[in-house]
Amino acid sequence: MSTQTPDTETESEAEQPSSKPHHERRLAEKRERAETKEAERAAAAQDIKGETVELKVFRFDPEIEGKEEPRFDSFTIPFEKGMTVLDALIYARDQYDSSLTFRHSCRQAVCGSDAFFINGRQQLGCQTQMADLDWPVRVEPLPHQDVVKDLVVEMDHFYDQMEAVDPFFDPDDLPEGELEEQRQSPENRENIKLSTRCIWCGACMSSCNIAAGDNKYLGPAAINKAYRFYMDEREGEQKRQERLEIIEQEHGVWRCQTQFSCTNVCPKDIPLTEHIQELKREAVKQNLKFW
């Protein structure tokens, strides 16, 4: 006959570990947290007063069980005049789901980090007004890029293509005085001015059908960067020749089919297709021989 009191038996039973396996308990806890979060989201949406807009955001997280399959989450966002897509995403992250992941920095269309596929078009989140879009607003990661998580895409390949054209100035001669500037004519500056606006956002590369099918194609952003230095009158003659050899290779300017998709989506209004065509003409002139 046991000498334990009923109270002691209850405490002993409570101290015993759960019969459920550890992974099942974790899954149950995750489901409970997800249900709680969904209830909080619904309650928060009901508390919003005034005009609202539905934001549909692409979600994907390969490292979290149950979130490996791509999906769209909807968020009810209170609309305000002047609200951008980036503003709406920040509201959704801060008020509804802190795990919502996307890149952003300056919020002034300068850093180029918040390029998304918004309502079927490559655009900067900080530059795109919610009032100018059809509702509900659908936000996805840039197409033709590997998705890391949610709206974040892998940019290493884009940066590699940019580096492939040697994106730096390389003159033959430098000014004699330490404080003397490298002079450039106003006419030449005007000619390359638009090409210097590139913010490395990757929108043009994402929109390019050629880049989608040819992983070695330099792409409009890299070719524009080559244009910026090749057309600069201060560039060294030997470097100009080397740069031209880079861009006239098999996967360079000749792969462009003049579809203007890159020009149409560029947030800085750079005439990318025109610059590519000008470099094609330069390559042809370089190879012409008269004798």
Q: What is the DSSP code string of 130-143?
A: GGGSPSSEEEEPPT
Q: What is the pLDDT of residues 169-178, one digit of tens each?
A: 888 888 787 7
Strands 152-153 and 52-59: unpaired
Statement to judge: residues 67 and 124 lie in one domain: yes
Q: What is the pLDDT along the chain (291 residues), one digit of tens a residue?
A: 444 444 444 444 444 555 667 767 776 776 777 677 666 666 655 556 678 999 999 999 988 777 788 999 999 999 999 999 999 999 999 999 999 999 999 999 999 999 999 999 999 999 999 999 999 999 999 999 999 999 999 999 999 999 999 998 888 888 787 778 888 899 999 999 999 999 999 999 999 999 999 999 999 999 999 999 999 999 999 999 999 999 999 999 999 999 999 999 999 999 999 999 999 999 998 877 655
Q: What is the pLDDT of residues 197-232, one digit of tens each?
A: 999 999 999 999 999 999 999 999 999 999 999 999
CATH code at 281?
A: 1.10.1060.10
User: Do residue 99 and residue 169 come from a single domain?
Assistant: no
201 and 278 in a single domain? The answer is yes
**CATH code, 92:** 3.10.20.30
Domain count for the chain, please give it: 2
In a domain, 191, yes or no: yes
User: Residue 9: inside a domain, yes or no?
Assistant: no
Domain span including residue 189: 156-173+185-287
Looking at residue 39, what is its pLDDT? 65
What would the pLDDT profile of 80-104 be if each residue is shown by its tens digit? Answer: 999 999 999 999 999 999 999 999 9
Q: What is the pTM of this model?
A: 0.79
Together in a domain, 164 and 276: yes
Q: Is 152 exposed, middle or buried (0-12, 13-18, 19+ CB in 10 A)?
A: middle
CA distances from 54 to 72, 98, 161 (A): 12, 18, 37
